[in-house]
Amino acid sequence: MSITAPTIPVAPPKRRGRPKVDPAHSETRAKLIRAGLVHLTERGYGATGVDEILKAARVPRGSFYHHFGSKADFGLQLIDAYDAYFSARLDRALGDDGLAPLDRLRGFMQDAEAGMARHGFTRGCLIGNLGQEMGVLPEPFRARLIGVLADWQALTATCLCAAKEDGALRADLAPEALAAVFWTGWEGAVLRAKMERDPAPLRQFAGTYLNLITP
């Protein structure tokens, strides 16, 4: 803002044409993120090329590099987008005070199974999928994936702490350790359900896990 006198601010001249859109919130970027999430949850990072993403999103190549510096940058931003969506979903499920803590966890697992079923068990968890590909991923992915899982574990541990306070959790078990075990086992169950195109691994893990942690 320019100033012509100490107390009289002068408004900047009006700009002609359409206002600029923040690239971070553009529809083109959203299309690319959506297409990337579908491809990477189905096929993985190594098996997916930028051209496939462009074709699915129906945007020109220049648009991709306007929003993302490289495929690796795109992958990292996909992790952030997936984490934002999934953490909110997990927080809603595990923070539902209308249900007993272990019923919240059970409901989360049932909802996740329903989500996989809607896509014929062809899509897994982006974080788990990428974790399977660490040998071919850029090194910065490692810390980002570990951080995401740590956040999910923290939300789960809070729920399990509430279960312990209610007497629904075995007194000799630590909620924090159980949260880590949950995500190790759950990601494996999701991977196998995707591989077999069948919900049985999810149900087997859910039933076994809950039986083992309850008095």
Q: Looking at domain 73-213, what is its CATH homologous superfamily?
A: Tetracycline Repressor, domain 2 (1.10.357.10)
Token pair, residue 147, equals: 């951080």
What's the mean pLDDT when you consider all of the chain?
90
**What's the pTM?**
0.85
Helix count and strand count (H, E) for the chain: 9, 2
Give the residue extent of every domain in the chain. Answer: 73-213
Q: What is the pLDDT of residues 180-206, one digit of tens each?
A: 999 999 999 999 999 999 999 999 999
pLDDT band at 22 (very low <50, low <70, confident <90, very high): low
pLDDT tens, position by position, 118-156: 999 999 999 999 999 999 999 999 999 999 999 999 999
Buried b (16+ CB within 10 A) or exposed e, 165-195: eeebbeeebebeebbbbbbeebbebbbbbbe
For 58-67, letters b (16+ CB in 10 Å) and e give ebeeebbeeb
More confident residue, 172 or 12: 172
Break the chain down into helix, strand, coil percent, rounded to 5: 65, 5, 30
d(CA 124, CA 82): 12
89: amino acid identity, one letter? R
Asked whether 203 and 113 are in contact (CB, 8 A), the reply is: yes
